[in-house]
Amino acid sequence: MKNIVVILIMVLFVFACAEDNVKMDLDVNQELDFEGAFRTKGSDENLFEEVTLKIANGFYETTTSLPFGYGAGKLEVFGSSISFIDTLFFPIPALYGPSYVLSGTHNFEFNGKELKIWSEKNVGAIEYNLRLKE
């Protein structure tokens, strides 16, 4: 009996000390409003810029702090993969370069408050760290 009590105490201790790495499903049909920043890694330019993301009814709007940094379209989630299907088309002058708005398929993690989105590209990586607006 004493061994069972010791084992139960150890199990409770392990769960009490476990990290809070809760992963949740991202419901793209909810109205969610995120803000944060993105960072490029390993490319010619290592940028750190502001970004916003609004989700509602399976669609999204996103902005960055760079010129022409606006995107909108349909949003799909499959497991740990998120796809931003941009329905806008704006020719971006070569003078400004990329705006890094969310577009295409990325990996993601969501814990109910923070949304991390990342992707490896042929010229480097990009990571978006967002949090729900309160």
Residue 130 has pLDDT above 70, yes or no: yes
Question: Which of these, 128, 18, 2, lies nearest to 69 by C-alpha position?
Answer: 128
Global pTM? 0.76
In angstroms, the CA 29 to CA 44 distance is 37
CA 74, CA 59: separation in Å to the nearest integer?
4
pLDDT digits (tens, 9 = 90+) for 35-55: 999 998 876 677 889 999 999
Q: 42 and 124 in contact (C-beta within 8 Å)?
A: yes
Angle at 86 between CA 79 and CA 77, to 5 degrees: 10
The predicted-structure confidence for 2-11, as pLDDT tens digits, reads as follows 666 546 565 5
Residue 95 has pLDDT above 70, yes or no: no
Q: What is the CATH number of domain 22-132?
A: 2.40.128
Residue with the bigger pLDDT between 18 and 46: it is: 46
pLDDT computed for residue 87 by the predictor? 84
**Residue 100 — pLDDT band, cuts 50, 70, 90?**
confident
Report helix, strand and coil shares of the chain as percent, to nearest 5.
10, 50, 40
- Above 90 in pLDDT, residue 73? yes
- What confidence tier does 18 reach under pLDDT thresholds 50, 70, 90? very low
**Other beta carbons within 10 Å of 126:** 21
Q: 10 Å Cβ neighbour count for 54? A: 16
- Domain edges within the chain: 22-132
d(CA 86, CA 101): 10
Return the structure tokens found at 25: 């499903």
Tell whether the model's pLDDT for residue 102 goes beyond 80.
yes
